[in-house]
Amino acid sequence: MAFFITDECIACGVCIPECPNNAITEGDIYIINPDICTECYGYFDTQQCVTVCPVDCCIPDENHKETKEQLKEKAMKANPDKTDFNFY
């Protein structure tokens, strides 16, 4: 399931460099592209945007539920040269 950023976002920018898929873009509030977000699956055990957000505005997007296999496919597609994924 992808994550999304709520209206509580303060646009501090700490999440952008933490996203391994570059799924977060700037705006009035930041936006997570659900077509790219893999919940950090294959990279980290926890979602990095959630971990670093000072206002806890990164939450699961119930409209974009995916299996681990779908997340794995997205991760591999987003970074085809990466060979050290950590799929659990």
pLDDT digits (tens, 9 = 90+) for 32-87: 999 999 999 999 999 999 999 999 999 999 999 999 999 999 999 888 888 889 88
The gap from C-alpha 80 to its chain's centroid, in whole angstroms, comes to 17
pTM of the model: 0.87
At residue 8, the pLDDT reads 95
Q: 3-class SS at 24?
A: strand
**pLDDT number for residue 27:** 80
E-strand stretches of 1-88: 3-5, 24-25, 31-32, 58-60
Class of domain 3-78: alpha beta
Q: Other CB atoms closer than 10 Å to residue 41's CB: what's the count?
A: 22
Residue 25 pLDDT: 95
